[in-house]
A and B are shown apart, each in its own frame.
Chain A
């Protein structure tokens, strides 16, 4: 069956796994030295009810994003729906709204008296303020669908069209082709995306706090200063949950290995026929709500500030000029984080996708736990560990520490995409090259890396977008004076300078749009 892993690879992965375990070890240590009665806490209603809510919300969101994300990905990569490249870029963007501002803006748009109140009425819908389970589920689904959309689109772009063509020539309808031919081949990518959505829903507290749904993260957040020990013990539970879920997912994924496939020479387009316009309406409708909803509110707030006489934006105290440095910082640090994350996790992707290694699964779970923990917990853990190092190294509140914390929190997003990419490289190519005498490095650089690039870019793109919107880690661990867009947006929302917050948010979305286009959309198409 599978070969045993080369020793160097296993060693590198052990180091990576250990680094990703730092938050977990910190939480365990804090819990053990605290005076929380764990047995009692974990079986109390105060834990079990939020736990049930968390699991329900995460599962429901993973399910809904899988359906919507796969459908959108297929429409924009494999059909002749108009403007498909534009939709691909736009549909990825809701991911970049920091949840505290995205949820606020979306709420302002779809609530009674909001901007979309009247348009919703035209299509027979009542404006309702998103709240509780349904509100959190809806908002999370709208904002996290790109986690499924991007990897599935990348996978679809890399699939050979021959099977689909045969199926169509045999007279199958597009829907049947999709179900019987396409779906089995992208199952791995859907699973990867859904897992990310699940873990994201575990960790996010912006949405659940703002929409008032009682989950574990909300308990961690509201207790953080009131009952520190309890907050830490609940974080530990959340991390353990993530490790368990990922171990389970790996076991399932192993039983159904992903289909291998080379890049197609040309992308296949399914003609939708009379379904072309309804399909366009579906894609556009999704983008209008998920992206247009928040943007509408943000646009109005920014416009108010720019045209009003009394706001500080109109007074010239603050404006676009002030956002240049934060924008450059945001892009710079996020690119570095994305590249470091992809590079750091590629070995682990190889180990888990290629070789027989139980330790790989453990490392996998540890990486996932970093993503499932709230950023605040990661930040405090990294602070703790950095302070154990000699002061003379000057690492505390340095960029090294910041990027490390980002990678620990975001890395999981590139790992699953990388695993899918590694698994889809046909082994026979590698074997042929080896027989022709190509060395390992050369085989990697000339055969495997080019084949994996669309997948790696998609994973790196996810890290990039989520680093751009990251807040608590940036606030607590960045070098002092390091201003990012999200930090600026947070300060403005906090002090209710909505015009400034909106302007900075629009810049953030525009920047993300450009980066998504250049790095993910254009790339995955060209390399397809």
Chain B
């Protein structure tokens, strides 16, 4: 017995040593070779942009390396990398992250030909980034619990007593904060604060993010929640029987504000032409239709039309706030949300 276990042990040791000596050099040899390849840092996940990058690569012959990650984390990474960044193009899920890099001087100015392809207001005022696609704020509700006839015409009416405690919110989520910034911009700080206080008075259930809210609404824990429209579409693609539905606030209500995703070119890129070609491709009809058909989002450029299950452009809010122009904007918004007590 003793000799057997000693043999086993020796083999295990040998195995471990062999694994390290074989694997480590093999891994070490594999490094990023920037220069010939276009490097994309993408805050949009592979499901939402990967097929387009592959398509561009095949059509143009430009090899692409993609690093997927959280938009804000990637923005910090590019900032940390400074002039040694391998990144050429940065795709962001929200205006906040591109705004951070723009303010830090890490983005280059996009040519007018690119910026002019989207409506005014869907690109940065200084042409640091351009909008790619949009998600609309909406009220998701459980169809087993809520009668659509009882739903309000405006997001501002959600402070009414009959909705108290029934509307889930994500007070620390970027999309909710952006929506509050829009309210502040359009109605002034006092009315925005009054709305937040009104919502807080009903002691609503709070969550960290949109996915968690739609999940809770679909299992009936909460009747409704303020989210982006994308998530109910996704949930029903997973399971068509889920009792979740979006209620779009009509007539351009603030409750149906469009929040854009964005593309930008990094200041220290060594492949500007390819980078510009990629951003142009993402604004082409082909790519915009992908956003409309596959990711249920609003296209922003060209002839592509929104998914037919979505309200038309005329019905959603026309308001565009330069959400990347932070200048204390977001900080004041988060402060206001904290003060309302929603974060407790």
Report which A residues bind B (CB closer than 8 A). 104, 107-108, 111-114, 129, 209-212, 214, 222, 224-228, 301, 304-305, 308-312, 332-333, 335-336, 339-340, 343, 376, 379-380, 383-384, 387, 391, 394-400, 403, 449-450, 453, 472, 475-476, 479-481, 487, 490-500, 526-527
Contacts and interface: CB of A to CB of B under 8 A. Distances in A.
B339 interface: no
20 contacts: A108-B215, A112-B220, A210-B212, A225-B97, A304-B239, A310-B237, A310-B238, A384-B80, A387-B80, A398-B31, A453-B9, A472-B73, A475-B67, A475-B69, A475-B70, A490-B45, A495-B234, A496-B231, A496-B235, A498-B211
Given A113-B220, A336-B19, A396-B32, A492 B330 contact: no
Contacts of A107: 212
A47 to B, nearest CB: 15
Given A395-B31, A481-B65, A104 B47 contact: no
B208 interface: yes
Contacts of B219: 108, 111-114
A380 B82 CA distance: 12
Contacts of B66: 480-481
Interface stretch (B22-30, B149-157, B191-199): B22-30
A475 B240 contact: no
Contacts of B74: 476
Given A212-B172, A212-B206, A225 B80 contact: no
Nearest to B237: A310
Contacts of B96: 225
Nearest to B331: A226
Contacts of B212: 104, 107, 210
Contacts of B235: 496, 498
Interface of B: 5-6, 8-9, 13, 16, 19-20, 23-24, 27-28, 30-32, 39, 45-48, 65-70, 72-77, 80-82, 84, 86, 96-97, 100, 172, 205-212, 214-216, 219-221, 230-231, 234-240, 330-331, 334, 343
B285 to A, nearest CB: 23
Chain A binding surface SS class: helix
A222 B66 CA distance: 25
A469 to B, nearest CB: 16
Contacts of B73: 224, 376, 472, 475-476
B221 A394 contact: no
A495 B19 contact: no
Given A129-B221, A225-B76, A491 B172 contact: no
Most B C-beta atoms less than 10 A away, residue of A391, A399, A490, A493: A399
Contacts of A129: 205, 216, 221
Contact of A301 (B9, B84, B205, B238): B238
A398 B20 contact: no
Given A383-B77, A383-B81, A527-B5, A487 B207 contact: no
Contacts of A333: 27
Contacts of B97: 225
Most B C-beta atoms less than 10 A away, residue of A209, A305, A387, A472: A387
Contacts of A305: 238
Nearest to B100: A225
B330 A226 contact: yes
A212 B39 contact: no
A225 B101 CA distance: 9
Contacts of A222: 172
Given A212-B208, A475-B73, A480-B66, A397 B27 contact: no
A224 B76 contact: yes
A340 B9 CA distance: 18
Contact of B45 (A304, A335, A494): A494
Nearest to B330: A226
Contacts of B240: 308-310
A412 to B, nearest CB: 20
A476 B30 contact: no
Nearest to A305: B238
B211 A493 contact: yes
A483 to B, nearest CB: 9
A107 B209 CA distance: 13
A387 B85 CA distance: 9
Contact of A397 (B31, B75, B221, B237): B31
Contacts of B215: 104, 108
Nearest to B334: A226
Given A210-B208, A526-B5, 14 more contacts: A108-B219, A111-B216, A114-B221, A212-B172, A304-B239, A311-B239, A336-B27, A339-B20, A340-B20, A376-B73, A475-B69, A475-B70, A475-B73, A493-B211
